């Protein structure tokens, strides 16, 4: 992952780990930001997590497959990273709850487009006999991100500023987009379906 960081598999695993960390860090401090900005309490912030979850489920169940068929995984993953970055960065800047809801909606959209596409791409750019190895490495990096990012986000929220975890996460995700550039040339092309010619 370090010595061969330019390889497509390494780039995809870095993308997965970084974006997963940004998402999990946001979950750690989202309720605190809602409390400070909009006086949301423990009795009502559950609605926001439900809102995020429902968007993610609906997009993955009804739209993801069609968008992958249209845009293909490399492009859709970059769109997802951009949406995730914008959503994270703009949440602390939201002047009202409706605007905040729009910004938050970009996060489940971004993760729905990023995580499945990146995993699919990883399975395509590695040798078949090493897929299990690389998938395990990907999940290892994702697991480390799930631990380290919330700790870092909580520390930044408490000691640096309430908006800092969101700004930093958004900028870091934005910087992952170049890692996904040019991934098309490493992806296995599907077999063309031949249509019988008219006699």
pLDDT tier for residue 4 given thresholds of 50, 70 and 90: confident
DSSP per residue, the chain: --TTTTSHHHHHHHHHHHHHHHHHHHHHHHHHHHHHHH---TTTTHHHHHHHHHHHHHIIIIIHHHHHHHH-HHHHHHHHHHHHHHHHHHGGG-SSHHHHHHHHHHHHHHHHHHHHHHHHHHHHHS-GGGHHHHHHHHHHHHHHHHHHHHHHHHHHHHHT-TTHHHHHHHHHHHHHGGGGTTGGGGSPPPPPPPPPPP-
Q: State the pLDDT at residue 197.
A: 46
165 within a domain of the structure (yes/no): yes
Residue 84 in this model has a pLDDT that exceeds 50 = yes
- Residue 54, exposed/middle/buried by CB under 10 A (0-12, 13-18, 19+)? exposed
Q: State the pLDDT at residue 48.
A: 87
Average pLDDT, the chain: 90
Rounded-to-integer distance, Cα 139 and Cα 13, Å? 9
Residue 160 in this model has a pLDDT that exceeds 80 = yes
- Residue pLDDT, tens place only, 8-63: 999 999 999 999 999 999 999 999 999 999 988 888 888 888 999 999 999 999 99
197 within a domain of the structure (yes/no): no
95 within a domain of the structure (yes/no): yes
90 within a domain of the structure (yes/no): yes
Residue 198 in this model has a pLDDT that exceeds 60 = no
Say what the pTM is: 0.89
Q: How many domains does the chain have?
A: 1
**CATH code: domain of residue 80:** 1.20.1250.20
Mean pLDDT, rounded, for 163-183: 94
Residue 158 in this model has a pLDDT that exceeds 60 = yes
Radius of gyration in angstroms for the set of CA atoms belonging to the chain, rounded to a whole number: 19
Of 186 and 109, the structure prediction assigns the larger pLDDT to 109
Domain residues for 110?
8-186
Mean pLDDT, rounded, for 119-125: 93
196 within a domain of the structure (yes/no): no
Rounded-to-integer distance, Cα 162 and Cα 116, Å? 30
62 within a domain of the structure (yes/no): yes
Of 186 and 142, the structure prediction assigns the larger pLDDT to 142
199 within a domain of the structure (yes/no): no
Mean pLDDT, rounded, for 124-133: 91
């Amino acid at each position: 992952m370090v010595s061969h960081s330019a390889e497509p598999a390494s780039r995809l695993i870095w993308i997965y780990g970084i974006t997963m960390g940004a998402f999990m860090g946001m979950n750690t401090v989202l309720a605190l930001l809602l409390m400070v900005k909009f006086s949301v309490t423990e009795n009502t912030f559950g609605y926001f997590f439900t809102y995020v979850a429902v968007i993610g489920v609906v997009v993955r169940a009804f739209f993801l497959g069609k968008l992958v068929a249209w845009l293909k995984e490399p492009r859709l993953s970059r769109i997802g990273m951009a949406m995730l970055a914008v959503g994270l960065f703009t949440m602390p800047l939201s002047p009202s709850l409706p605007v905040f809801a729009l910004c938050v909606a970009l996060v489940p959209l971004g993760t729905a487009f990023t995580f499945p596409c990146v995993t699919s791409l990883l399975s395509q750019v590695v040798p078949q006999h090493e897929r299990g190895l690389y998938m395990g490495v990907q999940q290892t990096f994702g697991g480390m991100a799930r631990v380290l990012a919330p700790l870092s986000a909580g520390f930044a929220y408490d000691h640096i500023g309430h908006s800092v975890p969101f700004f930093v996460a958004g900028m870091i995700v934005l910087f992952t987009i170049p890692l996904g550039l040019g991934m098309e040339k490493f992806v296995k092309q599907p077999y063309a379906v031949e249509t019988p010619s008219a006699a």
